[in-house]
Amino acid sequence: MSFDLILFGGTGDLAWRKIMPALFQAFRHGSLPEGGRIVGVARDDLSDDQYRALIKARFDQVELAKRPSEEEFSRFAALLGYLRMDLSNPADYAQLAALLQLRPADVVVMYVATAPGLFTTVCEQIAAAGLNGPQTRVVLEKPLGHNLESNRAINETVRSVLTEQQIFRIDHYLGKPSVQNLFALRFGNSLFEPLWRREHIANIQITIAEELGVEKRGAFYDSTGALRDMVQNHALQLLCAVAMEPPINAHADAIRDEKLKVLRSLKPWTPETLRQHAIRGQYAGGTIDGEAVPAYRDEPGVNPDSRTETFVALRTEIANWRWAGVPFYIRTGKRLAGRDAHIEVNFRPAPHAIFNSPLACSNVDNRLVINLQPKDGLELHLLAQGADQRQGGTSRGAPTLAPVQLDLDFDKRFGSERVGAYERLLLDVIAGRLNLFVRSDEQEEAWRWVEPILDAWRHDTAGPRPYTSGTWGPSASSAMIAKDNYCWSEES
Ligand code: BG6
């Protein structure tokens, strides 16, 4: 099967940080179908060779194991080409059409990795140039809009020229091996399913913590913020994966129907819950890995008086039979104490205690931790009789148990066969598999749920709470969860 992949935004940050390295990995693994062309599109005046040189230079910055050798790069470079386009100029799409007609491919992937403001223009122009045939698939990067209304407007325009089957809304978290393992854990094994409900689960915590700041994306991030950048998409998709009902089969719509139901069941916000259960923060200067780092407001491209949040902690509930009353906590932020993304499922304590619990958060003894990054694996935390208790406790009181854990390291187990998130998703687009892509109704529902938070924060003069870089965010986040008598994992 031959394919053409047209990468709009071909010189942008995303192209060289994620998309090109992922395409190269797919190439290296021999999974890219034969007969492919990859065409970078941008405004810069570059020849094919200059574009290849640009990508080669960028590859020197990716991690060593993922860097191509000279020989590998020259083979990969044979697939690469470049087209200069002004994306608002219809005549330039005619040039693209001419290029595609030179060698008609079985599949044409249009990857729109541009500034979000251009998404609809690109889709409309693709259609106007007659490039939206049945072989065409369009990949749209997030964020798709900045609120429900703008998201709907984009979806409407895109749907007016393409069918839903042709639209691949990417959320790279869904491509992470650990997220697919969560589906495998839940729907390929029967062990946890009977426990996966309110009767046995006390709370669920989703953490996506980054050490990095806003890097070179200050201007974009300042008009976006953590709620739009991470919660509306990545964190809510993780929440869906953990809370959804078993789908009737593994088809894209069966999975997406179940995720949609979760989003529809999220408890609506009230003025009270918005005040108590939606915490925002913004990083101040601090130290990360022993190095001083600047405050968010001092980052390039950021307004020095910015009120944009770089940290969010939320508490919500899912109003259905499986989850009623179980708190779901979400937290994400930049410049936190570590790069750590995980989901923690905290089980209810034993109904009658004959032992003492050693943990600070004594109401949670058993937990299942699904690690997304930096490592990818599962931990099952239990309590056991520790060495100091060989005598069987004391005559004066109950023995204290020791925390122990079962550890499954998927990187070790599956090491060399692992496929990264973007690589996996790009191969899925080429193969036409929609399972790990987001449908428009899911996306709209997620916007509907976050919008009251955006509105409340816009009107709240207090602004985000400052937190020192290299910490776990503002103390209000711990206080929020402590009100339920729980704590975040690093505090237990
Ligand atoms: C992107 C956000 O979607 O995800 C970035 O725009 C964030 O701000 C990134 O840094 C995190 O992705 P990952 O895979 O590194 O956790």
- CB 317 near ligand 1, within 6 Å: no
Give pLDDT, residue 363.
Answer: 62
CB contact at 8 A, 205 and 287: no
Structure tokens at 218: 């200050």
Q: In whole angstroms, what separates CA 176 from the centre of its chain?
A: 8
Distance between Cα 172 and ligand 1 center (Å) = 8
Give pLDDT, residue 361.
Answer: 64
Q: What is the C-alpha separation between 318 and 260, in angstroms, rounded?
A: 12
For the CA of 229, the closest atom of ligand 1 is 6
Helix, coil or strand: residue 6 = strand
Helix, coil or strand: residue 194 = helix
Structure tokens at 312: 């969010």
Helix, coil or strand: residue 368 = strand
Q: What is the C-alpha separation between 204 and 200, in angstroms, rounded?
A: 11
Q: What is the C-alpha separation between 231 and 225, in angstroms, rounded?
A: 10
Look at phi and psi of residue 225 and say left if phi exceeds 0, alpha if psi is from -120 to 50, else beta. Answer: left
Pick from 172, 211, 223 the residue to mutate for probing ligand 1's pocket: most ligand atoms within 8 Å of its CB. 172
Q: What is the C-alpha separation between 148 and 314, in angstroms, rounded?
A: 19
Give pLDDT, residue 325.
Answer: 97
Task: Tell me the one-letter amino acid at 297.
Answer: R
Give pLDDT, residue 66.
Answer: 86
Q: What is the C-alpha separation between 52 and 407, in angstroms, rounded?
A: 43
CATH number for the domain running over 175-419+439-491: 3.30.360.10
By the 10 Å C-beta count (0-12 exposed, 13-18 middle, 19+ buried), 268 is classed as exposed
Domain ranges within the chain, ordered by starting residue: 3-141, 175-419+439-491
Distance between Cα 491 and ligand 1 center (Å) = 25
Q: What is the C-alpha separation between 306 and 61, in angstroms, rounded?
A: 31
CB contact at 8 A, 59 and 24: yes
CATH architecture of the domain 3-141 equals 3-Layer(aba) Sandwich (3.40)
Helix, coil or strand: residue 242 = helix
Pick from 212, 230, 233, 339 the residue to mutate for probing ligand 1's pocket: most ligand atoms within 8 Å of its CB. 230
**Cα–Cα nearest to 465, from 480, 448, 485, 487:** 480
Q: Is 234 a catalytic residue?
A: yes
DSSP letter for each residue of 265-292 = HBPPP-HHHHHHHEEEEEEEEEEETTEE
pTM of the model: 0.94
- CB 229 near ligand 1, within 6 Å: yes
Give pLDDT, residue 215.
Answer: 87
Q: What is the C-alpha separation between 158 and 440, in angstroms, rounded?
A: 10
Give pLDDT, residue 396.
Answer: 55
The active-site residue out of 172, 234, 277, 381 is 234
CB contact at 8 A, 53 and 21: no
Q: Collect the ranges in the chain with pLDDT lower than 50.
A: 390-392, 395
